[in-house]
Structure 1
């Protein structure tokens, strides 16, 4: 029995979710009593394979057919490799790229597809946990099938650490070029300098900021901390900041070293998007705000008094 995970890369770098898939895949492989294999498609696959080949992985399969992600190539490559390896569970990232090809692969293979998983267990059959109702509840679904495909939500598993070397096996895919109807010529950065996913520190603001004109000290604090400014949904809905800054399951899921939540009440959808943060610091006037339930440190106070004090301290 085998677990097969498909790594993800972009612009010449493996994405964090690739290593999270290895952690989840190894846990599942132990429960199944099988091995863990990882596939990497396109790009400098040999370089990626050397990085992915770690003690927790038994085999890394490489498919060299292009430089970047391509829907048509990925569907064919992942489907053919899955048919050859015949894994009990196929693990894919729940990302823009992953959800682009995952349904097509599952359909081609005739496998059930379960998306946005936050937990996996295997005891005679696969059980997948998904959050529902804006992360207010969780549902565990038992899969009544011998084979399944699952997409994993980023940041739910810790990234695997480098420990050793696995076997690397190139896999030749007979790509039907007539079926490749699209081509990736490059990427255009539409978020400007907003990189919530890669930020070490995120300073996020909520409804408590009161108005758009009150955002200036928030950005000053973020500059002092070399941080990226994020926001809860009410700030985005009010039009005070662009949607590229929304943090939460409806926006961007983040995993910074420090997440500073200013005037954020802590709605379930928002909290679910920051579970990967190492340290959460919350500032809110309401001592009963739900954000304090997940905060490592909390300050009950006016953010317009706390922010200037923090800014003076860090400057």
Structure 2
């Protein structure tokens, strides 16, 4: 069934859809409109019926729910995407630029003989796809033009808003016939990494701290503010490199990409590597003593002042 269509493969973990899933629906719809085609969504493994209901948003034309296993499996995802692509023959195949997405995307592209562009931050279509990417710690922006009628792209999280509204897409449930070990690998289990006490990517409010905090003992003030706001504490790389907070709390290109409702940056200058991980926040508040700090160019609200005066005042106000 050859058609002008987009196939977007969503992602879930431990029974929950990842944020990138709803973002993929947005970029998928934009691309489908550009090629004047339909948006097909694939959800593979896990509670596919529940996931399909949550993915039934405005702009989604069809949902393909592949029942096979509970968590991510390289072989299952590769075989499922390959089978759906053979059936739909879409113009574009979209996948998350995540640990899981980058596991199966190259295998799928190789098996389907598709050009693959990874880590897209923007897409434009005009008789062909042009993909925007960032390089060298987000210091350089590049564009890649794909000279092929069909292509595959992995999409960076936090670059598009989440899809909204309720849709009326058709839902097709598929039983996938995959034998264990077909791809020479087998999932033995799921284990949280050390220091996984919180998942900052799920937080609605983040209080994030940078080198401007000065000393490790000053983190007590940050924890107090987070408690008053019912927020989660995160950090820029220098704090993690100093050993003051664990790696799982790091925001940035070498850490996590977060999209909270509110992101409060305290003592963070706004280096491009950090900004790459938090620029998708709905509201950004910056507190910094330097009025020329780059973070203020991004912030919705900025406070120029000594954080050791500003933060206690905020704590008192919110308490």
Q: Normalising by the residue count of structure 2, what TM-score does the alignment of the two structures yield?
A: 0.95
Which residue of 138, 142, 158 maps to 1:139? Answer: 142
1:172 Cα shift? Answer: 4.0
Q: Which ranges in structure 2 are unaligned for 5 or more consecutive residues?
A: none
Alignment of 1:121-140 (within 5 A): 121-140=124-143
Give the superposition deviation at 1:133.
2.3
Deviation by residue 1:283-312 (Cα, 9 ceiling, x = unmatched): 111111101100111111111111111111
Q: Aligned equivalents of 2:6 and 2:293: distance in 1?
A: 41
1:75 aligns with 2:78: yes
Pairing of 1:174-193 with structure 2 (within 5 A): 174-180=177-183, 181-188=185-192, 190-193=194-197
1:198 matched to which residue of 2? 202
Structure 1's unaligned 5+ residue stretches are none
- Residues 265, 284 of structure 1: 8 Å contact kept: yes
Q: Which residue does the alignment assign to 1:149?
A: 152
Distance in 2 between residues matched to 1:65 and 1:246, nearest whole Å: 33
Q: 1:51 aligns with which of 51, 54, 59?
A: 54
The residue number in structure 2 matching 1:304 is: 308
Whether the aligned pair in 2 keeps the contact of 1:209 and 1:215 (CA below 8 Å) is yes
1:266 matches 2:270:
yes
* Separation of aligned partners in 1, 2:300 and 2:180: 53
Corresponding residue for 2:237? Answer: 233
* More off after superposition, 163-172 vs 136-145: 163-172
Q: Please give the alpha-carbon distance, in whole angstroms, between the structure 2 residues aligned to 1:162 and 1:70.
A: 30
Q: 1:63 aligns with which of 61, 66, 89?
A: 66
Kindly indicate whether the alpha-carbon contact (under 8 Å) linking 2:138 and 2:276 is maintained by their aligned counterparts in 1: yes
Of 46-55 and 74-83, more deviation after overlay is shown by 46-55
Count the aligned residue pairs: 315
Q: Distance in 1 between matches of 2:156 and 2:214?
A: 32
Give the structure 1 partner of residue 40 of structure 2. Answer: 37
C-alpha distance after superposition, 1:21-48 (max 9, x if no partner): 0110000000011111000111121222
Q: CA RMSD in A?
A: 1.5
Q: CA deviation at 1:176?
A: 3.9
Deviations 1:56-108 (A, max 9, x none): 11111111111111111111111121122111110001112111211111111
Deviations 1:178-212 (CA, angstroms, capped at 9, x unpaired) = 41521253443644332210111111111111121
Match of 1:254, SS state, is coil
2:286 matched to 1:279? no
Change (3 A) 1:189 1:238: closer
Q: Does structure 1 conserve the Cα–Cα contact (< 8 Å) formed by 2:58 and 2:163?
A: no
Partner SS state of residue 144, structure 2: strand
5 Å matches for 1:92-171? 92-171=95-174
Whole-Å Cα distance in 1 between the matches of residues 233 and 217 of structure 2? Answer: 15
Tell me which of 183, 196, 207 is aligned to 2:211.
207
**Partner secondary structure for residue 111 of structure 2:** helix
Q: 1:223 aligns with which of 201, 220, 227?
A: 227
Counterparts of 1:296 and 1:50, CA distance in 2? 34
Confirm whether residue 249 of structure 1 aligns to residue 253 of structure 2: yes
SS of corresponding position for 1:234: helix
The structural deviation recorded for 1:164 is: 2.1
Q: Does 1:90 align with 2:99?
A: no
For 1:233 and 1:246, the matched residues in 2 are separated by 6
